[in-house]
Structure 1
Amino acid sequence: MILPVIMTGGSGTRLWPLSRGNYPKQFLSLNGEQTMLQQTIARLKGLDHQPSMLICNEEHRFIAAEQIRQLDVEHSGILLEPEGRNTAPAIALAAFKALENNKNIEEPILLVLAADHVIENKYEFHKSVKHAYVHAQDEKLVTFGILADKPETGYGYVMRGESLESKSEFSHNDLTSFRVSNFVEKPNLAMAQSYVDSGEFYWNSGMFMFKASRYLAVLKQFRPDIYEACKKSMQQQTVDNDFIRINKEAFLACPDESIDYAVMEPICQKIDRAEAIVVPMNAGWNDIGGFSALWQVSEKDNKGNVFNGDVKATDTKNSLVISDDKLVALVGVNDLVIVNTKDAILVAHKDKAQEVKSIVNELKKEKRSEATFHREVYRPWGKYDSLDSGERFQVKRITVKPGAKLSVQMHHHRAEHWVVVSGTAKITNDDNEILLTENQSTYIPIGVVHALENPGVIPLELIEVQSGSYLGEDDIVRFEDKYGRS
């Protein structure tokens, strides 16, 4: 049976300021009401498969878990990487875990997917997956090649070799699969055009399918260092709610390498190419690699504009405008990308929007929080929005989900004032436990152990005013935490 493995890593640079290091694009709703992660899981419906397994960064774990919970679907666990080491190690962790979970039943075939791809045609996606399944059962390593209808310099390419159409055992769903001849790096425009003209190249989708044991065997053959590091890291696991933690020290010793470099390219270059198969996919695929790609896949008005939020425009064409919290007005402009969030505004020509990464790099050099965090930050219990700050004070709007509780904690450098706006707050303040409702407040002195809980059935909203000599999030001493953060 198929075991979907969904990789949810990301740096949050290409769609900044919508995405950030702490909230990359797969957790955003960019092309519909569901987030990209949720769409990835939802499009699997109709395939015969086990519950999905997620590979997740430690910092993104609660966001991923909450978005799965919203779908009300089962999963096979959320494997936490202590630190990103690229796709080859991530898939190895999933392969080891899949074999561990399926010792007494048929070995699963991994369907490796990225959480941040748009696929518009679910039927064609399923068609290619079912076709690839036949090859994966035959011990092949399968990659999915996207039909290239235009030259793209932002994608790698897969060059196809001999057709397998004549072999009846590989005939399925009227698709033709091919042996992989070569993997090609991102080309210049002229070379990309020649690839498209030849008809022998596909865009490299980054999606794969193979048996867990076969992947590990090939990885061990070509990259024993990655294999051994991942094997060692999986020998010490701890389970924390939905999350599976591994040996951090062992994993940090693992090299940073993609599956293309570690496994797929060596197969094509050093042993029989019959091991690697490419299955074409024509399913409206897009990896949303930048704002131009987002504009392309979005529904447009009769002037080619994509507006999301409070936007007014006159004499404006072919522009993408996204606004979180205020009116954006445009007069007499074309081909612009304008993104307004609560703490940052991006204005770029659509053809230059890819260069936003250089802005993010500058922010990182200056150690500015906007590179990593939104003003609104999500936590397992809810979220907070930093409304204002100054010397020795900070104001936040805190939202606590029904039944959720913040950690039992104290602060060495700040006091806090809480004013309930709506809902009911159950508050522990030193040795006292109180219930507060709308328009009621309390004061938490420096050094006092305290906790905040929502015992009600509607979200709790409160305003928190912090005052003191240091207001950083690292001034939290946790004594007890239901989310395993103490």
Structure 2
Amino acid sequence: MDMLIPVILSGGSGTRLWPLSRKNRPKQFLALMGENTLFQQTVLRTTKLDQAQAPIIVCSEDHRFTVAEQLQELRVGGASILLEPAARNTAPAIALAAMQAASSDPEALLLVLPADHLIGDEASFTDAVRRAAPLAADGWLVTFGIRPEAPETGFGYIKRAESVSPDGFKVAQFVEKPDSATAERYVASGEFDWNSGMFLFKAGRFLDELKACSPAIHDAVASVYATAKPDLDFVRFDKTAMAAVPEDSIDYAVMEKTKHAAVVPVSCRWSDIGSWSALWDASEKDADGNATQGDVVTYDTRNTLVRSHDRHMVATIGLDDVVVISTPDATLVASRDKVQHVKQVVDGLNRAGRSEHLAHRQVYRPWGSYDSIDMGERFQVKRIVVKPGSVLSLQMHHHRAEHWIVVSGTAEVTCGEKVFLLTENQSTYIPLGVTHRLRNVGKVPLELIEVQSGSYLGEDDIVRFEDVYGRA
């Protein structure tokens, strides 16, 4: 196999798995199956491929530190993290990655993978990539078709045409998600595969086809790429230039138009985890068909998915074909055949100006995390955890004062002109309007309780003067 560069698309919002998946931490960054997140599983999958280089990752600015931290947990270095200042669908995202790769080697093979897919048979997937590599090296734009296990209406399909290699076929047609009768006909014909959204092609070849099939997208992305600026471990692009890029998927922009689309069929126990029902399908189940996680007790319950969060028990009685998802600030209860309507709930929360679709109660930051334990009209209580060696920005607030009580670890506190240490069971007061900073100078996580009081407690009441993460 020639040099292979994985391209991992991590820009999805994952609204169909609410309330667990939210805008600030969508499904690709959650450990839905196993210890690693779906994003981490995707990265690890690529390390098993011959000639695989460090990945190119395309994600939103909001998730940049999550990506960096999850790569660090895997001890995967050298990745290029491209930050999309605005989401423009998969064709522009892949074009940015292709331009990044082509700047070093236009002949490099790009393996494009969504970050939120689950593959149960990784050996079959790895074998499919090896079988597809000669086709990609010959100039084909290869997509991977999943051999259908059932007449699924939630996926697009690819119709195979004549063979172009021992393992690949020319694409006859891409078709949209069908109704039940059409899906049954597709599966019965033996000529159709599920459209996986995974691709393999040369970087330069893809850009040539993009320019031929969708020149407006190609030229607009080229203008965006010309604005690239390194920032810490990331590559930033101009937001105004990105907003001018036409929005389109790779299927519409290239794959349905090119004469060089090929498909390599594969059976690898694939799932896009596109709904809670799909997660139930992919999960291990007990004798009653229940898939559970967390502190869960079931009685007279069958074919049900139940997930609980830390320090919270969920008990079910007399349920059949139901989904129960509990988080600290929201609980979803739905029939398993109605979970596709979760998006309507998220849309309703957005219209109502609520925040439960945006962020969890526990919010992750590059320095650690905070959990809003309690809040009222003029107060809020947070549990803050700061990673060893990490430091928050030098900041101040116009509308609130803060009390800090150290639970464990050692804190270096800057409060106005004073800098001092606090250890377990010690506390301090940060008056309204005073510049302050918190640093973990120890080798273990710093945990503290913060009590805020004031007329306004929103996260946007922060004025940053210095910040090692570039947020000042």
Q: TM-score, normalised to structure 2's length? A: 0.98
2:363 maps to 377
RMSD of aligned residue pairs (Cα, Å): 1.0
1:258 maps to 249
Which of 247, 257, 263 lines up with 2:238 in the alignment? 247
2:117 maps to 117
How far 1:157 sits from its partner (Å)?
0.5
2:62 maps to 59
1:220 maps to 211
Structure 2 residue runs of 5 or longer lacking an equivalent are none
How far 1:135 sits from its partner (Å)?
0.8
Which of 63, 71, 74 lines up with 1:68 in the alignment? 71
Which of 31, 34, 42 lines up with 1:32 in the alignment? 34
Q: Which runs of 4+ in 1 moved over 3 A?
A: none
Which of 243, 264, 279 lines up with 2:264 in the alignment? 279
- Which stretch of structure 1 is more off in the superposition, 42-51 or 54-63? 42-51
1:88 maps to 91
Deviations 1:144-197 (A, max 9, x none): 000012111110000100013xxxxx44xxxx2100001001111110110000
- Matched position secondary structure for 2:43: helix
Asked if the contact 1:222/1:266 (under 8 Å) is kept, the reply is yes
Distance 1:76 1:465 in 2: 39
Deviations 1:392-443 (A, max 9, x none): 1111110100011000111111111111111111110001001101111111
Distance 1:79 1:34 in 2: 22
Identity of aligned residues (%): 58
Asked if the contact 1:56/1:79 (under 8 Å) is kept, the reply is yes
- Matched position secondary structure for 1:370: coil
- Matched position secondary structure for 1:75: coil
1:298 maps to 283
1:143 maps to 143
Distance 2:195 2:437 in 1: 50
Distance 1:241 1:321 in 2: 40
Q: TM-score, normalised to structure 1's length? A: 0.95
User: Which aligned pairs between 1:171-250 and structure 2 lie closer than 5 A?
Assistant: 171=166, 176-250=167-241
Distance 2:46 2:229 in 1: 28
Distance 2:297 2:336 in 1: 19
1:317 maps to 302
Distance 2:78 2:110 in 1: 14
How far 1:107 sits from its partner (Å)?
2.7
Deviations 1:224-281 (A, max 9, x none): 11111111111122211211001221111001100000000111xxxxx3x1100011
Q: Which amino acid aligns with 1:446?
A: L
Q: Which amino acid aligns with 1:397?
A: R
Distance 1:141 1:311 in 2: 46
- Matched position secondary structure for 2:17: coil
Distance 1:190 1:75 in 2: 48
- Matched position secondary structure for 2:372: strand
Q: Which amino acid aligns with 1:188?
A: D
Deviations 1:70-109 (A, max 9, x none): 0001233100000110000000000111112x15xx7311
2:349 maps to 363
Deviations 1:50-85 (A, max 9, x none): 111100011011111100000001233100000110
Distance 1:233 1:177 in 2: 34
Q: Which amino acid aligns with 1:86?
A: N
Q: Which amino acid aligns with 1:55?
A: V
